Amino acid sequence: MTSSVNFNVIGTIDSPYKEKFAIPRQPGIVTAAQGQLHLTGLANNEELVRGLEQFSHIWLLFVFHGTQSQGWKPLVRPPRLGGNKKLGVLATRSTFRPNPIGMSVVKLDRIEHCTVNSDNRNSTEDKTSQVILHISELDLLDGTPIIDIKPYLPYADIVENAHGGYAQNQPSNNITVEFSPLSLKTLADNITHYPTLQSLIEQVLIQDPRPAYKHHKSDDKVYGMSLYNFNIKWQMTDLTTLQVITIEDAKHV
């Protein structure tokens, strides 16, 4: 037996989530989240994905590159338990693991085979082929390295009568999301290029991305998050209502 194993990165995620804060804690919860998986290196070969279009969903095995450098501990505080109780890291889906490997089920919308400039310039020469998997319902940080892809098999991957321990059911925060007039104007101005942006913001904020110990408590802090190229500021107005204050296009600030 060997004490370590090396993996090759086979692709990289292009995601609306530009920072760890506000990423949903599980895939499939935020259906408006859309992204792309660009295959790289030797895996950037259309033969590798032949037949994959038959499947509506796929498993992605990936590296928690955003938290990898912070190491890990044997005990963690799951947000699902309010951050007040410690459990063994292997009894949770914490990103701080002995090996920073995660897995997600995402929706496979389509597979694209295109030609791009290999030097990333506008040259008409040095063209190269690129395989891109268009995916949605993802919960992955932008730039996430992918180490494997597997088709999702409903007959095998759905386990009836399974017990989910302390996380048997999806949490319900009963939060209402409101938009200020200024933020609605920004959404309207960008609806052509970002038609699902409002739905994405709503679905992300309904999950209440604040630290677990602040849930169901008065909180007048103004929070910020990044989705696509937008910096979004929001604030709780009462225990169950939050307002999106501003949406700024970072490219034009």
List, for residues 145-161, the tens digit of each pLDDT value.
Answer: 999 999 999 999 999 89
Mean pLDDT (whole number) for 98-124:
84
Report yes or no on 90 lying in a domain. no
Report yes or no on 84 lying in a domain. no
Do 134 and 179 belong to one domain? no
Report yes or no on 77 lying in a domain. no
Report yes or no on 89 lying in a domain. no
Higher pLDDT, 180 or 211: 180
**Burial profile 42-53: b = 16 or more Cβ within 10 angstroms, e = fewer:** ebbeeeebeeee
pLDDT category at 213 given cuts 50, 70, 90 is: confident
| Phi, psi torsion values for 11, nearest 5 degrees | -175, 170
Higher pLDDT, 22 or 146: 146
- At 40, which helix (H) or strand (E)? none
Residue 124: predicted pLDDT = 55
Record the tokens describing residue 198, joined without a space: 């409002």
Dist. CA 129–CA 47, nearest whole Å: 12
Q: In this structure, how many other beta carbons lie within 10 angstroms of the beta carbon of residue 89? A: 18
Do 59 and 140 belong to one domain? yes
Report yes or no on 57 lying in a domain. yes
In degrees, rounded to 5, the angle at the alpha carbon of residue 37 between the alpha carbons of residues 155 and 148 is 55
Mean pLDDT (whole number) for 207-215:
86
> Under a CB-based contact definition with an 8 Å cutoff, are residues 97 and 72 in contact?
yes
Do 181 and 145 belong to one domain? no
Residue that is written with structure tokens 């919308």 in the block: 109
pLDDT category at 123 given cuts 50, 70, 90 is: low
Residue 212: predicted pLDDT = 81
Mean pLDDT (whole number) for 60-76:
92
Do 131 and 217 belong to one domain? no
Secondary structure letter of residue 187 according to DSSP = H
Do 128 and 223 belong to one domain? no
Q: Which CATH number characterizes residue 218's domain?
A: 3.30.2310.20
Do 117 and 230 belong to one domain? no
Q: Which CATH number characterizes residue 39's domain?
A: 2.40.30.70
pLDDT category at 120 given cuts 50, 70, 90 is: low
| Those residues with Cβ within 8 angstroms of residue 213's Cβ, 6 or more apart along the chain or in another chain | 82, 83, 84
| Residues spanned by the domain of 235 | 173-252
Report yes or no on 91 lying in a domain. no
Residue 204: predicted pLDDT = 95
Residue 184 region by backbone torsions, left for phi larger than 0, else alpha for psi between -120 and 50, else beta: alpha
Do 106 and 143 belong to one domain? yes
Look at the chain and report how many structural domains it folds into: 2
Comparing 2-6, 105-109, 119-123, 163-167, the range with the smallest average pLDDT is: 119-123
Do 133 and 179 belong to one domain? no
Residue 122: predicted pLDDT = 55
> Under a CB-based contact definition with an 8 Å cutoff, are residues 123 and 116 in contact?
no
Residue 119: predicted pLDDT = 60
Do 225 and 117 belong to one domain? no
Do 187 and 239 belong to one domain? yes
